Structure 1
Amino acid sequence: MDPRSEVLLRQAELFQGPVMLAGLPADDLLGTLPKARGWSWHAGEQAALDARFPGRCDFGTTAPESEFIAAVLFLPKSRELTDYLLAALAARLPAGELFLVGEKRGGIERAAKQLAAFGKPRKLDSARHCQLWRVSIEQPPAAPDLESLAQRYRLELADGPLEVISLPGVFSHGRLDRGTALLLQQLDGLPGGHMLDFGCGAGVLGAVLKRRYPQSRLTMLDVDAFAAASSRLTLAANGLEADVMTADGIHGAPEGLSAIVSNPPFHQGVHTDYQASEDLLHEAVAHLQRGGELRLVANSFLKYPPLIERYLGPCRTLAEGDGFRIYSARHS
């Protein structure tokens, strides 16, 4: 059981009715609270919860339509996303109870101050390096408009400007990260066909790929529903079309790809996690056609070339700078 769930269950009498568990971990919490429902935006956790508790967890960027008299938000990493999620839940809880649970090192004490917009927050419990906070909704807000919270910026590229739209919680929210900036300079010479932007985030790489290789089919994949929504907005803002999907890693991607291009994710909440990136290196060969290419950016300190060569083939370093390297390998 996740430590945050364990702290919640120390106050289990508060959660016996219809309660919405937002951002819940994929543990047995729904089994312990039979009247509760979940709301997830992480495709992997959603799949695990749906397998164990069919029909009891909704996936997406907006609060589910089901009725609830209380809600618990499991603290996400992003302050902006926390603001949106708290408002989305509070808007559905006039005179109801809103709870916030999270790890101390994840900033729960700071985040608890965000509850003050709806009433007077009170700390209920502290255990397992986590805290549980509660507020009675005295000032329910209007339901927030997610798109109005987007940050927009323009990239001046050689083939023209690109409009990028980033939603709260998406990687490198409102700015171009250094790794993607380096990879954008190394997108020439990819084999045409069916391309994949793996870990698409706000859709920068995918949009540039579609514009540069207009005859190629493009799929954009991310584990996060807010990232997928951002990519759709970025595509639309630039008059581009692609297939955008959510899945928990490369195993959910199409097969027969001509190219996989990625700034692969390696962070999950407050914990560092390289599993998605390592799975990409291990399984890329199963998704690439013969002659298909994997091209990615990674921090220079990560020992990816030996893994690429073990699972795919000879690895070339195409560029290096600002603490990052661009690697390329083809399925022979």
Structure 2
Amino acid sequence: MDPRSEVLLRQAELFDGQVLLAGLPADDLLGALPQARGWNWHAGDQALLAARFPGRSQFDTQMPAGDYCAAVLFLPKSRELADYLLQALAARLAGKPLYLVGEKRGGIERAAKQLAVFGKPRKLDSARHCQLWCATVEQAPQQPDLQALAQRYPLQLSDGTLEIVTLPGVFAHGRLDRGSALLLEHLQDLPSGHLLDFGCGAGVLGAALKRRYPSSQVTLLDVDAFALASSRLTLAHNGLEAEVIGGSGIESAPEALSAIISNPPFHQGVHTDYQASENLLVQAGRHLVKGGELRLVANSFLKYPPLIERHLGPCRTLAEADGFRIYSARR
């Protein structure tokens, strides 16, 4: 059981009824709270919850419909995303309790101050290195417009300008990160065919690929619902068409790909987690056609080449700058 869930269950009497659990982990919490419902934006967690508790959790960027007696927000890493989620929950909870739970190292004490907009925050419990806070929503705000919270920035490329659209909580919200900037400079001479942007975020690489290789089929894949929504907005704002899919890892990707291009993720909440990235290196060959290429950017200190060569083929370093390297290997 996730320690945040354990803290909630220490006060289980507070959550008896149709409570919405927003951002809940993929553990036994829904089993312990049989009337509760889940709202999730992590495709991996949602897949596990849907298998164990069919119909009780929804994968979306919008709060699920329902008449809830209370809601619990599991604190996300992004303050901007927490602001949006708290607003969305409070808008439907006039006169009802809104709870916030999170790890101390994740900034729960700071985040609890965000509850003060809706009512007086009260700390209810502290255990398992986590805290549980509550505020009764004294005056419900207006339902927030997610698209109005988007940030846009122009991206100057050799074939023209792309407008990138990012939503709260998406990696590198409102800016171009250094790794993607380097990879954008090395997208030439990719094999023709079906291209995959793995861990697409706001769709920077996927949009650039579709612009550069208009005759190629392009798919964008990410684990996060807000990233998927951002990618769709980026594509739409630039008049581009590509497939956007949610999935927890490379296992969710199509097969018979001619190339996989990635600035792979390595954070899960407040923790560093290289599992998705390393799994990409191990499994990429199963999704590539013969002669298909894996091209990715990674921090220079990561020992990826031996893993790539063990599971795919000879690994070349195409470029190195600002603490990042571009690796390429063909099946």
TM-score tier, shorter chain, comes to: over 0.9
Q: Distance in 1 between matches of 2:69 and 2:172?
A: 35
What is aligned with 2:73? 73
What is aligned with 2:57? 57
What is aligned with 1:229? 229
Q: Distance in 2 between matches of 1:6 and 1:128?
A: 8
Matched residue type, 2:275: Q
1:83-98 matches, within 5 Å, as: 83-98=83-98
Matched residue type, 1:273: D
Matched residue type, 2:271: H
Q: Distance in 1 between matches of 2:117 and 2:140?
A: 9
Q: Distance in 2 between matches of 1:262 and 1:196?
A: 8
Displacement of 1:7: 0.5
Matched residue type, 1:274: Y
Matched residue type, 1:212: R
Q: Distance in 2 between matches of 1:113 and 1:161?
A: 40
Q: Distance in 2 between matches of 1:262 and 1:156?
A: 20
What is aligned with 2:314? 314
1:36-55 matches, within 5 Å, as: 36-55=36-55
> Deviation per CA, 1:136-180, whole angstroms, max 9, x where unpaired?
000100100000000110111111111000000000110000000
What is aligned with 2:100? 100
> Deviation per CA, 1:89-131, whole angstroms, max 9, x where unpaired?
1111111110000000000000000001101111000011000
What secondary structure, in the 3-state scheme, does the structure 2 residue paired with 1:286 have? helix
Q: Distance in 1 between matches of 2:112 and 2:176?
A: 29
Q: Distance in 2 between matches of 1:268 and 1:67?
A: 31
1:1-332 matches, within 5 Å, as: 1-331=1-331
Q: Distance in 2 between matches of 1:219 and 1:92?
A: 36
> Deviation per CA, 1:24-54, whole angstroms, max 9, x where unpaired?
0000000000100000000000000111111
Q: Distance in 1 between matches of 2:227 and 2:196?
A: 15
* Percentage of pairs with the same residue: 77
What secondary structure, in the 3-state scheme, does the structure 2 residue paired with 1:173 have? coil
What secondary structure, in the 3-state scheme, does the structure 2 residue paired with 1:296 have? strand
Q: Distance in 1 between matches of 2:148 and 2:289?
A: 41
Q: Which runs of 5+ in 2 are unaligned?
A: none
Q: Which runs of 5+ in 1 are unaligned?
A: none
Q: Distance in 2 between matches of 1:216 and 1:192?
A: 6
Compute the RMSD of aligned alpha carbons. 0.5
Q: Distance in 1 between matches of 2:240 and 2:43?
A: 24
Matched residue type, 1:81: L
What secondary structure, in the 3-state scheme, does the structure 2 residue paired with 1:195 have? strand
Matched residue type, 1:191: P
Instruction: State the aligned residue count.
Output: 331
Q: Distance in 1 between matches of 2:74 and 2:39?
A: 10
Displacement of 1:235: 0.3
Moved over 3 A (4+): none
Q: Distance in 2 between matches of 1:156 and 1:327?
A: 23
What secondary structure, in the 3-state scheme, does the structure 1 residue paired with 2:81 have? helix
Matched residue type, 2:301: F
Q: Distance in 1 between matches of 2:312 and 2:34?
A: 46
- Between stretches 151-160 and 27-36, larger displacement belongs to 151-160
Displacement of 1:279: 0.6
Matched residue type, 2:169: G
